[in-house]
Amino acid sequence: MKPLDDLTVVDLTQSVAGPVCTQLLGEMGATVLKVEPPSGDNFRHIMNGNIFAPFNHGKQSLCVDMKTEAGHSIVTELVDEADVIVESFRPGVLEKYDLDYESVRTRNEDVIYCSLSGFGRTGPYRSYPGYDPCIQAVSGLMAITGYRDRPPVRIRASLIDCGTGANAAFAIMAAVRQRDRGGDGTHIDISLFDVAISWMSYWITNYDQSGELPERAGGEGIGSAPNGVFPTGDGHIYIATLSEAMYERLCTVLDRTDLLEDERFETIDDRIDHRETLRDELIPELEAFTATELEGKLLEAGIPAGAVRTVDELLETDEHVEARSMLVDSYNPEVDETVTTAALPFRFSSGLHDGQFSSRPPKKGEHTDDILAALSYSTDEIARLHETGAVIASS
C-alpha cells in the first residue's frame, strides 16, 4: 500500500512544473489521469522526448479534444469525480469550459484544485505566459547570475519549474491532510514567479537591511575568501573556506603556510578585500593537482570542495551517484527506447519508496480506451468517439 492510493488526480498540465507535481503524487500511489490535447503534451517532442520522459512516470494518458462537445463532456466527468485536479492553463482559459475552480466546486465541493501558472491568478502579470528562463529574468535571479563584465545568464536546468512542481505537490498534500481531518476542499494558487521570488529571499533581506544590490560574481561565493571556482591541472573545482580554521587547513594542504603570515590575508575581511591577489597566489598550487585529487585532499582536511563534473562523468564514473542509485532505466515513448534518467531524490526506511519509478511514462493516449471504459462508455461509444476525432489512442 502507498499513502495516496485512494486518490484520483486529474492532470491538466503540460511542460515541466505540472508534470513534476503529478509525477510525485503518482509515485506515492495516486491514480494520475493525464489529459492531453490531440497534439499531446507540448514537451513530448522537445529534445526528442527527453524532457517529457523524466517527469511523466506513473500516469495514464487520455488524449482528448476538449474543444469538441464529446471531448469536453469526458473531461467534465473526470474532474467532477476527481479528488485532486492540477492544471496549468493561463488564467481565464478554463472558465470558457466551466472547468475552473469556481465552476468545478459547485459539482465537486470537496475537490482540491491546484492552479499552476507562470505568474499566479491575480496581479498585473497574471495573463503573461510563464517560461522558466523568463521567470529567472523577472524574479531577479538572472541579474545575479554570470560574470560582472558580461550579460546576465540563465541557469541551464529547469530549476524554477522543478521547484514549483515540488512545492505544488507539498501544498496539495497539506490540503489533502486538512480535508481528511474534516476540512473542506480548496483552491491552491501557485506560480513559478512566486517560487522564484521565495528563492531570492536572502538577497531580498540583505538589500532591505543594507541597501546594497547583489552583483554578478561569476564563480565566486559570498561571505569569505577563497570561496569560488578555481582551475586545476585538468579542470575546475569549487572551494569554500568558510572559517579561519578552514583557511589554515587549505594553506597546509597546499604547502603555503607562508600565506598565514601575510597581513593582506590575516582575517576573512582582509582576504575578501584581496580576493584576486590571494587567488593568484593559490592558482599555481591548485594546478599541480587534478580536480579529483584535490577534491579528495580538501575533503579529507574538512574543507568544503567539489570537482566540477560533466554529465558524462555523472553517468559513467561517479561512484557516489552509483552508490546512491540515482540513475535508473526509464523509457522514452517518443522514440520507443530505453533511456537513463535520474531517480527520485528520497528514500524511506519503511520501504515506502526507494527512488525507482513504479511504471514508465505513457505514450500519447495510451490509456484512452481504458479510462473511457472506467467511465462506463461502451465499446461502440468509444469507437464513435474515435471516429469523430473527440479522442485519440496511441497506435
Cβ partners under 8 Å of residue 376, min gap 6: none
Which of 387, 367, 241 is closest to 304 using CA atoms?
Answer: 241
Residues 6 or more apart in contact with residue 373 via CB below 8 angstroms: 382
10-residue mean pLDDT profile of the chain (395 residues): values are: 94 97 97 97 94 96 96 98 96 94 97 97 93 96 95 95 98 97 96 97 95 93 94 97 96 96 95 96 97 97 96 94 94 94 91 88 96 96 96 87
Please give the pLDDT value at position 356.
87
pLDDT of residue 351: 82
Give catalytic status of residue 132 as yes or no: no
Instruction: Give residue for cell 489529459.
Output: 35
Which domains, from first to last, does the chain contain? Answer: 8-199+326-392 (3.40.50.10540), 227-312 (3.30.1540.10)
E-assigned strand segments in the chain: 8-12, 31-36, 59-64, 84-87, 112-117, 186-191, 227-231, 236-240, 305-307, 327-332, 337-342, 391-392
Radius of gyration of the chain (CA): 26
Given 11, 161, 194, 369, the catalytic residue: 161
Output the pLDDT for position 395. 67
CA distances from 130 to 13, 68, 125 (A): 13, 27, 10
Measured CA to CA, the distance from residue 85 to residue 326 in angstroms comes to 30
Cα(368)–Cα(35) distance, integer angstroms: 9
